[in-house]
Amino acid sequence: MTNRVDFYQGEFKQLALPAGRCEVFIEGAPCPDLEVAEIVRQGRPGFGYARIRYNPTTQAGQVDIAGKDIEICRLINTGIGEVKIEPVRIFAGRIGQINTKMGADEQGFEITARDFSARLDSEVIDGKRIATGGGKSIYWLACDVIFNEDGQPNASIQQVQHNGKSYTAFAPEGSEAKYWSTAEVIEYLLSEYVLYGQLQVSLMEYPQALSGGKASDELAVEGKSVLAAIQDCCEQAGLEFIFSPRQAETGSRQQIVFYLPGKGRTVELNLQYAAEKLSISRTNVCELESEKQSLPTGSGVTEVVEVRTPILATGYEVGDRITVSPDSRDVLGVRRHNRSIFWIDRVRFDFERQSAELRILRRPA
């Protein structure tokens, strides 16, 4: 028997990536010289984008990356008993704007990448597909494209097959027709102007269940962008939508997600009471700014709340409904305004300050 006590100090090893950092991939290839400044998730009118900086320490800055696909991933350990690094996409899009800065004290460039909304905004509707029977169809250019024109049905009874897709088209004049539903309008627009495999779309059960049957009014889209046409259609049905990255290893890297404000999943925003020992699991609010107002266009929004989190938490999504824990300070007034709905309208991941900024809207339930 001995009274000796042995002390052991754990071996220190650096992380594969610094905390809060993401890895950038362009066309599937890692680009360690690119650093993420911010990622914004939001719906209309701006939609999502990412801002990336490059510090020229190698010749990589000479590579032409304009118009190329980009992914931003966090690397996490998913192994049980072993190290297994897996990438989790938090942004997927295409590089658009590149700003170059050169001077005596600095040299580099800043990249702005946008989600799939940028592609849909560049596609202009210039005609319509008309069913001719047996799954076949023809495409008429330079004609009026009006869904449920004059309040009358003009959707084909049978679907057409085109470019590997099956969807509703316009019915020939004078033939039997049905009303367009919101889901069918959106599916038609995305099927006509998005190539197969570019964008994951789950339509028939979700938006149709939310919006009901036919589109309430006629919808004229000739000469508009596909993005603007989808916005008009969703506005009729009271729907919102965003573009978000998918985690699947195969298939499209982006998806379009439809939601009703305040009807998504529920997340908590909590703040401990004064003099309590700080716990990150019980406090995820470090700054808050509220502006009570009545926004135009009949939105019914009565308050806009800006919240900053103490850490770079990337799990928040647009459309999430906000609540608070029973043992937390009700700094948002969720319990006080128990007949109101609070939901996230915008998420900004700030990699410089290592925090997330949430814009939360409140309106009567």
Q: Tell me the pLDDT tens digit for each residue of 123-157.
A: 999 999 999 999 999 999 989 999 999 999 999 99
pLDDT band at 355 (very low <50, low <70, confident <90, very high): very high
CA 96 to chain centre: 17
From residue 336, alpha-carbon distances to 290, 331, 339, 340 in Å are 15, 10, 9, 9
Helix, strand, or coil here: 351? coil
Count of residues in the chain = 365
Distance CA 59, CA 348 (A): 31
DSSP-assigned letter for residue 170: B
Contacts of 50 (CB under 8 A, 6+ apart): 36, 38, 39, 40, 70, 72, 91, 93, 112, 113
pLDDT digits (tens, 9 = 90+) for 5-49: 555 544 444 444 445 678 999 998 998 888 999 999 999 989 999
Q: For the chain, what are the domain ranges?
A: 23-115, 121-259, 266-364
Identify the three-state secondary structure at position 178.
strand
Angle formed at CA 278 by CA 276 and CA 284, multiple of 5 degrees: 115
Cα–Cα nearest to 236, from 193, 194, 181: 181
Rg of the chain's alpha carbons, rounded to an integer? Answer: 25
The amino acid at 313: A
* Mean of the per-residue pLDDT values of the chain: 85
Q: Around 7, how many Cα atoms within 13 Å sit in the side-chain half-sphere?
A: 1
Beta bridge mates, 140: 128
Top CATH class, 266-364: mainly beta
CA angle 223, 122, 245 (to 5 degrees): 130
Peptide bond into 45 cis (omega under 30): yes
Give the list of residues 6+ apart from residue 78 with CB closer than 8 angstroms, or none. 84, 85, 86
CA pair distance 356, 365, nearest whole angstrom: 27
Look at the block and give the residue holding tokens 């309106």.
Answer: 363
Q: What is the mean pLDDT of residues 259-271?
A: 88
CA 303 vs CA 260, 278, 300, 338: distances in Å: 18, 28, 9, 14
pTM of the model: 0.85
Structure tokens at 215: 């589109």
Query: For residue range 278-321, what is the model confidence (pLDDT) as tens digits?
Result: 887 889 999 999 998 765 555 688 899 999 999 998 889 999 99
Tokens representing residue 196 in the block: 């197969």
